[in-house]
Copies of this chain bind each other. A is one copy, B any other.
Amino acid sequence: MRVLLTGFEPFGGETVNPSGEAVKRLDGKIIAGAEVVARILPVAWDDAGPSCQQAIAEVDPDIVLMVGQAGGRTAISIERVAINVQNGKDNKEVAREEAPIDPDGPAAYFGTLPVKKMAERIAAAGIPAVVSNTAGTYLCNHIMYHTLHSAATKGQRVRGTFIHIPFLPEQVANKPGQPSMALETIVRALEIAVETAVAAVKEND
């Protein structure tokens, strides 16, 4: 079994993206018998989806866990749903405002992995984790929708969802009131997410 883990490059004036740092730590690891391959996606409306599809074509994964930074959150957030809308300016200064990702696509897709179980297993290991009901309307929601829409319409076997992670401590060292999580804690949470996803695919859960 193969697991594709994606992170994003930095955006929004940050010099680091915890999602990229975290997935790189797991690249090449074997978790629960599955081979993990990590890729970094561009923060660009036109490029993120094709870049992820290319990785899926190359890796042919059973599972894709897309990871992204969610500044302001305190917990690992397993995303339940991606919606067909996009807002904001990407790293290439391309702006989208209240625009559909696919004008012919459905309003939303649910993640195709057991999100509640993933959050519960991470929390049971002592790491704050929740199921989140919104991935926002920026690139994180975009790639989750794009990947699930592609899987549904192209008949790909891959199952997936999105995981939002907090800022790293060094990103908010001078931003009073902004929560953060250590990289080691985030990496451990992702390992548990992979383990839970692998078990779900094996059990066809």
> Interface of A with B (CB < 8 Å)?
74-75, 80-81, 83-85, 98, 106-110, 116, 122-130, 133-134, 136-137, 169-170, 172-182, 184-185
The count of identical subunits is: 4
A187 to chain B, nearest CB (A): 12
Partner of A81, one of B83, B128, B176, B185: B83
A137 to chain B, nearest CB (A): 6
Interface of A, helix, strand, loop or mixed by DSSP? loop
Beyond A107-B106, A178-B74, whether A133 also contacts B130 by CB under 8 A is no
| Chain B residue nearest to A174 in the complex (CB) | B123
A178 to chain B, nearest CB (A): 6
Residues of B near A122 (CB, < 8 A) are 173
Tell me whether A128 and B83 are in contact (CB under 8 A): no
Partner of A176, one of B107, B127, B130: B130
Tell me whether B170 and A126 are in contact (CB under 8 A): yes
A134 to chain B, nearest CB (A): 4
Q: How far is the CA of A2 from the CA of B28 in the complex (A)?
A: 47
